[in-house]
Structure 1
Amino acid sequence: MTYVIHGATGAQGAPVVAALLAAGNSVTALTRDPDAVVAGARVVAARYSSVAELTEAYRGADGVFVHLPVVSEADRLTYAHNIVAAVREARPARVVFSTSGAPVGAGAGGAAAVLAEGLGETGVPYAVIDPLTYLENLLMPYVLDAVRERGVLPYPVRADFPMSWVSHLDVADAVAALFGRPDVTGVVSVGQYPAIDGAELAGAFGAHFGKDVVFEPISPEEFRGFVAPLIGEGPAADVAGMYAAMSGLSDRSITPENSAQRLLGVTPRTTGQWLRDMGL
């Protein structure tokens, strides 16, 4: 089986490549760098901005894993339309799309919703993975340094706000499972269930690092200042806006009905398991 993986050298794509190679599959790693090296995979340079390059990369694939990069929303919309056009032309056997936490429900708007809707219109079998909040967000230096140096875990939500945290490793497990389960279609939510609140999250960090750790709510604007140097001012403002909107919600939790646990038999890692798997 041959699978085409977007962002194969990045945080989301690399774990998918590793999971598929470990299962003995053939992998085509899509990157922006034609000189990139991905051990065990064939590397193909294909830009989101080129329908022709995407079409050539997708043609004959048993599966394609795609997600949208962190760029301006205008560019993301262009890329979404290009991906749909390439899928429609190339007709891969299956597409798995990760929303990366962006909304895709009815009336959601935005590039992720456009891509999900467009894939449905191609007639190509597809599934949508819907992670909510990445544990990898907690790897940012300002979080880990605060844990290690001050015994606090800062994040822009209330301490009593339950969240279904998920890692890129969990998403990769779900992607690999979906490629082997063509009967599972539609939206598959991936994340911890039951959701955990800030105190439970901090407690897991404390148990792993062998120290007392408390959760420290910070404002979305303060969070924006931390992440802007990493992802850029525009995307950082979008992220801060998302967390500001979450302040009016009761939780950010998956529902068991469409979870990876029920549909695929894939149980996401606990926070402690993830910390161990990351070698922290």
Structure 2
Amino acid sequence: MTYVIHGATGAQGAPVVAALAAAGKSVTALTRNPDAVVDGARLVTAGYGSVDELTRAYCGAEGVFVHLPMVSEEDRQTYARNILAAVREARPARVVFSTSGAPIDPAEGGAAAALAVGLADTGVSHAVVTPTLYLENLLMPYAIDTVRERNALPYPIRADFPVSWASHLDIADAVVALFDHAHITGVVAVGQYPAVTGPDLAAAFGTHLGKNVAFKPITPEEFRAGVAPLIGDGPAVDVAAIYQAMSALPDRSIAPEDSAQKLLGITPRTTVQWLADINL
């Protein structure tokens, strides 16, 4: 039996593939690029747009890792329906879904919420990993170039806004643990606790780089302009809207009772540890 990993060549899937392969697990890497090379995994070409392709990939799987790509909400809704149809048909032993920070409250709607609710209705063993914000966001050129050139870390949150940041490496650790502990179901929050602020992040960058780095709050519109060349105008508008809504919240901290720290015994990396691990 094998573990089927979506986005195996991307930022979220690749660390999961690497962690499973390092643990000696059989891994099937799903990708839309038939010419991709994924170390430690068998390559299967399949996309979220085809229920038949997904069903064939999921059949006989010990575990499936899914996350929704950053595309239009209409496409995300379609992908969520296709994943659920394939899970119902193929009946993999276990599914772990990362929300990638999207809300899963049915009252708020959205594709991630639909997928989380739908997985519960399939009767298949599953868990939902809920990160808040990714540390890798800070590596986007608009941010890391400013750190290097101007000794400032820009991000669209208030300086006093605590966040339980997590890295893709932390998510991979949680996903692998959840594959091994099928009795743990429901929501598992992954992120630093206590939550840290923008100035805390800047100080960590300064410690790692050996210089003083200041935190620079920017507006969601400035953020949109900075990321649009990387993710496209439409997704950039959607993400900027999320940060605009976030500005009205007191924090983005995980709750300790459903944290990976409590449920899995896994402590996410500090920002300094993460910077060292990625060899920035």
Q: State the shift of 1:146 in Å.
A: 0.9
Match of 1:110 in 2: 110
Stretch deviating more after TM superposition (122-131 or 99-108): 99-108
Q: Find out whether 1:76 has 2:89 as its counterpart.
A: no
User: How do 1:185-196 and structure 2 match up within 5 A?
Assistant: 185-196=185-196
Q: Find out whether 1:239 has 2:236 as its counterpart.
A: no
Match for 2:225: what amino acid?
G
SS at match of 1:187: strand
What is the rounded CA distance, in whole Å, between the counterparts of 1:211 and 1:223 in structure 2? Answer: 24
Match of 2:258 in 1: 258
SS at match of 1:127: strand
Match for 2:223: what amino acid?
F
Q: State the shift of 1:198 in Å.
A: 1.1
Match of 1:16 in 2: 16
Match for 1:92: what amino acid?
P
What is the rounded CA distance, in whole Å, between the counterparts of 1:89 and 1:162 in structure 2? Answer: 42
Is the Cα–Cα contact under 8 Å of residues 17 and 40 in structure 2 kept in the other structure? Answer: no
Q: State the shift of 1:108 in Å.
A: 2.0
What is the rounded CA distance, in whole Å, between the counterparts of 2:217 and 2:120 in structure 1? Answer: 39
What is the rounded CA distance, in whole Å, between the counterparts of 2:62 and 2:184 in structure 1? Answer: 15
Q: State the shift of 1:8 in Å.
A: 0.2
What is the rounded CA distance, in whole Å, between the counterparts of 1:270 and 1:31 in structure 2? Answer: 31
Structure 1 residues 114-164: Cα deviation after superposition (integer angstroms, max 9, x where no partner) = 111111111101000000000000001111111111111000010011011
SS at match of 2:265: coil
SS at match of 1:178: helix
Match for 1:36: what amino acid?
A
What is the rounded CA distance, in whole Å, between the counterparts of 2:35 and 2:208 in structure 1? Answer: 38
Match of 1:5 in 2: 5
Match of 2:212 in 1: 212
Match for 1:232: what amino acid?
G
Q: State the shift of 1:34 in Å.
A: 1.4
Q: State the shift of 1:55 in Å.
A: 0.1
Structure 1 residues 230-269: Cα deviation after superposition (integer angstroms, max 9, x where no partner) = 0011110111000000111110100100000000011100
Q: Find out whether 1:227 has 2:227 as its counterpart.
A: yes
Match of 2:152 in 1: 152
Q: Structure 2 length as normaliser, TM-score?
A: 0.99
What is the rounded CA distance, in whole Å, between the counterparts of 1:62 and 1:157 in structure 2? Answer: 40
Q: State the shift of 1:110 in Å.
A: 0.5
What is the rounded CA distance, in whole Å, between the counterparts of 2:277 and 2:11 in structure 1? Answer: 15
SS at match of 1:144: helix
What is the rounded CA distance, in whole Å, between the counterparts of 2:171 and 2:184 in structure 1? Answer: 15
Q: State the shift of 1:199 in Å.
A: 1.1
Structure 1 residues 28-77: Cα deviation after superposition (integer angstroms, max 9, x where no partner) = 00000112111111000011110000000000000000000111110000
SS at match of 2:44: strand
Structure 1 residues 9-39: Cα deviation after superposition (integer angstroms, max 9, x where no partner) = 0000000000000000000000001121111
Match for 2:5: what amino acid?
I
Q: Count residues with an aligned counterpart.
A: 280
Q: Find out whether 1:139 has 2:139 as its counterpart.
A: yes
Match of 2:45 in 1: 45
Q: State the shift of 1:106 in Å.
A: 3.4
Match of 2:26 in 1: 26
Is the Cα–Cα contact under 8 Å of residues 142 and 227 in structure 2 kept in the other structure? Answer: no
Q: Percent identity?
A: 73
Structure 1 residues 91-129: Cα deviation after superposition (integer angstroms, max 9, x where no partner) = 000000000000002312000011111111111010000
Match for 1:215: what amino acid?
F
Match of 1:65 in 2: 65
Match for 1:57: what amino acid?
A
CA RMSD of aligned residues (A): 0.6
SS at match of 2:127: strand
Match of 2:172 in 1: 172
What is the rounded CA distance, in whole Å, between the counterparts of 1:166 and 1:110 in structure 2? Answer: 22
SS at match of 2:3: strand
Runs of 4 or more above 3 Å deviation: none
